[in-house]
Every structure is written in structure tokens, then in C-alpha cells.
């Protein structure tokens, strides 16, 4: 591999690793890609950004052979080619690291890397040859990992390294990464970026798909912006800004930071003491969780996905009963002996925006008007005798659609036919309109466009300012730091620390999320001094 960027700096025209010309792809009436053109310079890190539905996933799926373009040309290293499937893509030197890793958990690193590419030698000879190649790749690209470790025993950052090694083992000179930092701590993200820089230095071309503008600015050489299935801009990263990129993505100016005035906390609304949740086979999801949440404040819960945040929301919303411990909402106490359920907690003023809106937030075949009243269908104004009033439901939904900018504003439209961002707005409109005393909200902007993120953040701050207590769970540290008045950090089912808004920074939170500095008696200043 050569360092193509050196050629570019010498004044000659840099060679292209990828050139897509007039790519079109439709799914029924949906035109996912419309005359898309893309040029990616060899040895560059090239970002692709866009809102949900902009067409970026479809485009890289065409490049990797998951889909076939309806029309258009693909050139790899200046050679026009056809990519019918992922095997074709791999054969042309294209590798892909998926958002959800494609690894066999109970296999070793070496076995995962070899899988499907064992060769014609004996098993022992193939394994030794693969081990030698793997060790060389690890050394060349700074991808150190023990080849004999069982993958499921590796932290998520090292599992991602295995995915990259697997692609390089198959001869990848072009590497596609789809939302690669979604499950990483800030420290793991920076380690990944170091790896990507090392790959670039060795001439590997990297195509990075992400919604995080800060990451685009930190790691890419070039960036392309998609909107509505079309490519609307190609920019040198050094010549642009997050504000310009956001405007190109949405088609209007976007407020990237919410106006966050100091909180004025009131009386406690939620008090949890020693909450534990243990499965029948002895796995601790929650271990001795205690917290207090007051009126008029947002308390964020930070942590790498899978460390108990989801289970905490399930317990506090009444979906799951705790194994031990208790929590109090107002004057009502919920224990293992006196369990609650979502309906009872709603009557106590608890609203819940679930992490998975399709599983717990809406019913996809239901109309928007029907999804808008899930859990709240017993009010008199919605009834016509013993039955729900269709006209009242429609008017209720129309009013909330207007207030929450839900598009299209069609109460009779099936919930499934709204975009992810507008489905999320339906859930938020329903829960916020209930005027809760306590709002439990999980991943409020997961899969949501940047324009909708701006709106949702404003709604949460407005609700806090009206006196509502909000418990916010998010894997997006920027979101946690922007919205929260206090930040709690979870690791391995435990609450390992708390920071005031003004104390928090990404490095500090990342260390705590990784379980570093969680020991009793270590102060924030001490942790910082040791970092």
C-alpha cells in the first residue's frame, strides 16, 4: 500500500479509490438514491453524513454488495466494476465494519479472523499461517489483541479491533465503518481514531458513516453530505464547520447547543434506595442503586450501553419489579412486596419515553391518533359513552401534531408510515402532554434527525423549567452534558459516580464509564489529576 496523500501533497492529481457515478436505487415508490456521485481519494478518511432517510446506508450497501443499484457505475481504483454481493466486494479489496459486530462470541480472535478463509492447508497449518498474518497486521496497524482470547470476553473496543483485523486479513484496502463509535467510551473512540490514522498512513482508504459532526471534524479529510437521497455537497473538512454541515444536512440553520439556564431544584420527586435486579441465573443487572431526583432538574445517566441503564428505566417505569430495594414516587413506595405497574405509575404522574419506541412506544399498525393515546385512553374527553370517540381522538392528535411539529400532520396515517424522528415526536407529545411530575426518558434522540434533535432538546428543557423532574438515559455524551444538571455514571450495574454539570467533561466521564476511579473515596479532582 502507498500513502496516496503524499502524492496529493506533491501537486499531482490524487488517484481515486472509489468513484460512484449517477447511482440510482428505488424501493417501490421510495427513491433512496437519486443520481448520486461520489469520489473518494485513495488514502483519505472520507466522511458521509446525512439525516435518517438521506440515503447514506443505501449507498454504502450498494458499494458493499448488499443491494444492486438500479442504474449507475461503480469504479474501484479507476476500474469500472460490478459488485453483486459482499464476496465480490471483499474480492475487490473492500471491507466493512458493521455497527453491530459480525463476530462469533464463543470463538477466539484467531478463529473469527479465519472464519470462511481457512485456505486449503491442514487446519493446524492454516491456523499457524493466519496467526502469523494476524500478528503482522496487529504490529503494522497498532491493533494489538491476543489472538487466543475468546471474543465475548473482550471489551467492546477490542471486539471492534477484531472486526477491523478481519477485514484487513481478507485484503481490504478500502474500509467502510458504519457508526463505529456508538458503543464506545470517549477513550475507546480516541483509540479507534488513532487506529484509523495509522491505517491512513499505510494507505488504507476509509469511508466513515456517522451522525456525529464532532467526529467528522476530528478525523476526516473530506466529507460528503446527503439530503433526501441526493448528494448535496462535497467539502474538505478543514474548510467547513459543524454549523455549515448541519445546515447542509437539514436545509436550514440548526441550533446545535440548547439554551440551558441554571436549574432550580425543588422537593424530591423520586427516591430510590438500594435497588437490585438479579436474573434467575444470578446475573446482576442492577446492584445497590440509590438516587434522588428533584423537581425542576434533569439528571443524566451516562454509561456504555449494557451497563444497567435500560434495566433501571424498566424498574422505575414499572415494567420490571426489583429483586430487592425500593423506590418512592411522591409519597408512594414501591417494593418487591408492593410492586407497581406502568398504569399505576402513570396515575402517580410518571411518564415514560422508552428506549425502543417500536417495542414499547407505539404500535406500528395503529394510526397516529391511536398511538397518541396509548396508556392514556381513559380520560372522559376521549370517550363517547362507553366507547372512544373517533373525532375526539383525531382532534387530540391534530392538536399535538401542531404543537410538536409532527409531519405529515395526518392523525389517520399508520404509525409505521412516519419517519423515525416523527415517530419519536409522537411518543414525546403523548408523554409530555400528560403534564408529568416525573419523566423517564431513554435515548430520546436515537435514530432521530439533527433537526428533530434540536426540537426534542428544547422540549425537554422547557418541561424541566416548568418543574418536571427528568431522568435522562443516553449513550450520547454530548446529549448528557448539554441537557443534564447533574450526571450519574453507571458501570456494570452500579452507580459509580456523580458529577455536577459544571464539573463534567468527556475525558472524566469516559474514565468513570470504564470503571476507572470508581473506588470509594476518590474525588473528581483526584481522578482528573491521575488521568
Same domain, 157 and 225: no
CATH assignment of the domain containing 517:
3.40.50.300
Residue range of the domain that includes 333? 268-359+437-530
pLDDT tops 80 at residue 2: no
| Nearest Cα to Cα of residue 119 among 110, 130, 108 | 130
One domain, residues 72 and 14:
yes
Same domain for 109 and 77? no
Mean pLDDT over all residues of the chain? 88
Bridge partners of residue 71, in order along the sequence: 24
Q: How far apart are CA 74 and CA 97, in angstroms?
A: 20
Q: Flag whether 398 is in a domain.
A: no
Among 482, 463, 466, which Cα is nearest to 474's?
A: 482
> Does the residue 364 lie in any domain?
no
Q: What does the pLDDT look like over 130-147, one tens digit per residue?
A: 999 999 998 888 888 999
Residue given cell 446506508 in the structure block: 57
Q: Are residues 492 and 509 in the same domain?
A: yes
Mean pLDDT of 169-179: 93
- For residue 407, the 8-state DSSP code is S
Last residue of a domain, one of 250, 279, 307: 250
In a domain, 340, yes or no: yes
pLDDT per residue over 242-270, tens digit each?
999 999 998 888 877 788 899 999 999 99
Q: How many domains does the chain have?
A: 3
Q: Tell whether the model's pLDDT for residue 12 goes beyond 70.
A: no
DSSP-derived 3-state class of residue 292: strand
Q: Are residues 315 and 460 in the same domain?
A: yes
Q: pLDDT for 31-72, tens place per residue?
A: 999 999 999 999 999 999 988 778 888 999 999 999 999 999
Indicate the residue among 145, 170, 195 that finishes a domain: 170
Q: Residue 260 domain-assigned?
A: no
Phi and psi at 508, nearest 5°, equal -65, -45
Q: Count the Cβ atoms, other than its own, within 10 Å of residue 51.
A: 25
C-alpha to C-alpha distance for 309 and 332, rounded to whole angstroms? 23
How far is the C-alpha of 525 from the C-alpha of 531, rounded, in Å? 10
Residue 403, in any domain of the structure? no
Range from 9-18, 263-272, 491-500 carrying the lowest mean pLDDT: 9-18
Cell numbers that stand for 365 in this block: 399498525
Kindly state whether residue 207 falls inside one of the protein's structural domains: yes
Report the pLDDT value the prediction gives residue 450, as an integer from 0 to 100.
Answer: 82
Q: Which of 190, 215, 250 is the last residue of a domain?
A: 250
**pTM of the entire predicted model:** 0.74
Amino acid at each position: 500500500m502507498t500513502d496516496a496523500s503524499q502524492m496529493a501533497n506533491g501537486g499531482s492529481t490524487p488517484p481515486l479509490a472509489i468513484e460512484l457515478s449517477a447511482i440510482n436505487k428505488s424501493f417501490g415508490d421510495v427513491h433512496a438514491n437519486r443520481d448520486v456521485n461520489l469520489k473518494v481519494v485513495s488514502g483519505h478518511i472520507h466522511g458521509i453524513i446525512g439525516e435518517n432517510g438521506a440515503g447514506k446506508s443505501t449507498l454504502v450497501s450498494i458499494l458493499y454488495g448488499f443491494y444492486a443499484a438500479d442504474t449507475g457505475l461503480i469504479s474501484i481504483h479507476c476500474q469500472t466494476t460490478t459488485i453483486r454481493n459482499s464476496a465480490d466486494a471483499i474480492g475487490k479489496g473492500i471491507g466493512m465494519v458493521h455497527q453491530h459486530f459480525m463476530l462469533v462470541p464463543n470463538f477466539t480472535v484467531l478463529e473469527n479472523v479465519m472464519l470462511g478463509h481457512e485456505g486449503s492447508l491442514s487446519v493446524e497449518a492454516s491456523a499457524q499461517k493466519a496467526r502469523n498474518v494476524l500478528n503482522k497486521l496487529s504490529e503494522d496497524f497498532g491493533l494489538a489483541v491476543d489472538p487466543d482470547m475468546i471474543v465475548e470476553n473482550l471489551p467492546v473496543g477490542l471486539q471492534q479491533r477484531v472486526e477491523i483485523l478481519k477485514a484487513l486479513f481478507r485484503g481490504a484496502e478500502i474500509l467502510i465503518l458504519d457508526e463505529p463509535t456508538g458503543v464506545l467510551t470517549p477513550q475507546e473512540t480516541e483509540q479507534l481514531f488513532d487506529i484509523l490514522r495509522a491505517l491512513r498512513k499505510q494507505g488504507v482508504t476509509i469511508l466513515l458513516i456517522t451522525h456525529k459532526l464532532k467526529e467528522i471534524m476530528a478525523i476526516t479529510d473530506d466529507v460528503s453530505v446527503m439530503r433526501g437521497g441526493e448528494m448535496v455537497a462535497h467539502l474538505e473538512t478543514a474548510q467547513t464547520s459543524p454549523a455549515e454541515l448541519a445546515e447542509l444536512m437539514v436545509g436550514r440553520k440548526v441550533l446545535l447547543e440548547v439554551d440551558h439556564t441554571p436549574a432550580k431544584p425543588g422537593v424530591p420527586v423520586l427516591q430510590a434506595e438500594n435497588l437490585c435486579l438479579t436474573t434467575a441465573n444470578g446475573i446482576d443487572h442492577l446492584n445497590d442503586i440509590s438516587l434522588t431526583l428533584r423537581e425542576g432538574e434533569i439528571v443524566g445517566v451516562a454509561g456504555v450501553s449494557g451497563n444497567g441503564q435500560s434495566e433501571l428505566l424498566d424498574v422505575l417505569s414499572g415494567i420490571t419489579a426489583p429483586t430487592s430495594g425500593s423506590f418512592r414516587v411522591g409519597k408512594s413506595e414501591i417494593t418487591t412486596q408492593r410492586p407497581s405497574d406502568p398504569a399505576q405509575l402513570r396515575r402517580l404522574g410518571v411518564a415514560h419515553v422508552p428506549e425502543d419506541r417500536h417495542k414499547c412506544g407505539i404500535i406500528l399498525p395503529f394510526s397516529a391518533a391511536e398511538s397518541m393515546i396509548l396508556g392514556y385512553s381513559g380520560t372522559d374527553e376521549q370517550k363517547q359513552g362507553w366507547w372512544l370517540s373517533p373525532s375526539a381522538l383525531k382532534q387530540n392528535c391534530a392538536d399535538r401534531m401542531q404543537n410538536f411539529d409532527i409531519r405529515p400532520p395526518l392523525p389517520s396515517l399508520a404509525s409505521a408510515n412516519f419517519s423515525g424522528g416523527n415517530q419519536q415526536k409522537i411518543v414525546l407529545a403523548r408523554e409530555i402532554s400528560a403534564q408529568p411530575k416525573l419523566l423517564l426518558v431513554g435515548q430520546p434522540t436515537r435514530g432521530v434527525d439533527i433537526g428533530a434533535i434540536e426540537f426534542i432538546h428544547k422540549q425537554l428543557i422547557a418541561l424541566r423549567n416548568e418543574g418536571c423532574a427528568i431522568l435522562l438515559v443516553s449513550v450520547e455524551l454530548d446529549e448528557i452534558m448539554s441537557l443534564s444538571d447533574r450526571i450519574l455514571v453507571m458501570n456494570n450495574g452500579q452507580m459509580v459516580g456523580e458529577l455536577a454539570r459544571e464539573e463534567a467533561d468527556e475525558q472524566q466521564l469516559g474514565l468513570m464509564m470504564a470503571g476507572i476511579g470508581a473506588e470509594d473515596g476518590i474525588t473528581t479532582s483526584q481522578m482528573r489529576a491521575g488521568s
